[in-house]
Amino acid sequence: MKEKSEEKEKVKYIRKINGVENKVRLEAEAAMMRLNAAMLKIGDSLLRVTTEIEFDPKMNKNDNSSFIKTTVNNIDSKKDKMVICASSIGQETETLGWHVNGLSEKTFELIRRIHEIKRSSGGEIEPLQIDKIPFGAMGIHSTVLFNKISNCALEIENLKTLTEAQNSADKDLTLSCCELVIDVCEVEKMAVTEYQWDTVSPDGMSPDGMIGHTYDILCACDRDYGTKYAEGFKPQFQGDANGFLTKAIELENKATALKNERSKSSSPDQDQANTAAGYLDSVIDLLHEASNLIERACRVVASLIPT
């Protein structure tokens, strides 16, 4: 009877892991579909930026110098940069999103595998103890993160719509750039860490984010299964995570300040538009760095999975 009861507990636990893993995967797929739809739309604008030639009806088509002058005068290079950056943000966000999903999959696989090994070898694991592995918290966090990615998709679409009717110096387009930067900074923090790792509580738990949740799970595995995963994980990611968080907070604060300042006036302001475009550029680099870190974390967790 005891063996049957333990087997039922094992099956129940594995099913719980599988269910949470599936939920995260479905949320990732749904978010990526929304993001891809947004990138298709911004792609239309990107094609326009790449191939656009505006003809002046009064222009002498045989006069090349007049043609070049008219074309250059009609180009809003800063708006073009906003479109290009928005497209790149979509691509980098998609890459980050899939790496986040991959990290959760490898982490769930690790929990599943060490639990199976302990059970098959007759290891004593109390039913309540196995529920202390916080994989459900990672599932909840991932769901919120993918909803944030969907918000980025909506802002990319909004920016695309505004570029069709406005110039770069117009208020709404600058505000849209700021909103996109703020949304992306939130995604980056949720993907990596949301608090400085060196200021967390004495119990050693990490500061949220996907890297943080991964570390929490590794700590729980060490505690409940006798492994030593967490002590090797933290030194590999603490410095970069803290550095990226500092960058994200600074960039988010700058975008928020610009948004608040731009909201005070409806008059065109090219200087503020230039600043907003610069923030878009910076957030692309931040996304790329965060994506590489999550991919690296995925490889580290994969290396811990028992064969």
pLDDT grade for 118, boundaries at 50, 70 and 90: low
- Report the pLDDT value the prediction gives residue 225, as an integer from 0 to 100: 80
Mean pLDDT check: name the lowest of 7-16, 47-56, 119-128, 271-280: 119-128
Residue 86, pLDDT above cutoff 50: yes
- Report the pLDDT value the prediction gives residue 54, as an integer from 0 to 100: 46
Mean pLDDT check: name the lowest of 9-13, 57-61, 71-75, 94-98: 57-61
- Report the pLDDT value the prediction gives residue 5, as an integer from 0 to 100: 65
Residue that has been written with the tokens 């994980």 in this structure: 233
Residue 220, pLDDT above cutoff 70: yes
Mean pLDDT over each residue of the chain, to the nearest integer: 86
Considering only residues 4 and 26, tell me which one the structure prediction assigns the higher pLDDT: 26
Contact between 276 and 258 (Cβ < 8 Å)? yes
Dihedral through CA 48, CA 50, CA 55, CA 59, nearest 10? 170
Task: Write out the two tokens for 74.
Answer: 């009609």
Provide CB contacts within 8 A for 218, sequence distance 6+.
227, 229, 230, 233, 304
> Model confidence over 255-267: pLDDT tens digits?
999 999 999 999 9
- Report the pLDDT value the prediction gives residue 239, as an integer from 0 to 100: 94
pLDDT grade for 204, boundaries at 50, 70 and 90: low
- Report the pLDDT value the prediction gives residue 133, as an integer from 0 to 100: 81
Cα-based angle 78, 83, 85 (whole degrees, multiple of 5): 90
> Model confidence over 7-57: pLDDT tens digits?
777 788 889 999 999 999 999 999 999 999 999 999 988 888 776 544 444
Question: What is the distance between the alpha carbons of residues 91 and 220, in angstroms, rounded to a whole number?
Answer: 34
Considering only residues 186 and 220, tell me which one the structure prediction assigns the higher pLDDT: 186
- Report the pLDDT value the prediction gives residue 70, as an integer from 0 to 100: 40
Question: What is the distance between the alpha carbons of residues 176 and 179, in angstroms, rounded to a whole number?
Answer: 5
12: buried, middle or exposed (CB in 10 Å: 19+, 13-18, 0-12)? exposed
Q: pTM for this structure?
A: 0.87
Domain ranges of the chain: 2-304
Question: What is the distance between the alpha carbons of residues 21 and 101, in angstroms, rounded to a whole number?
Answer: 9
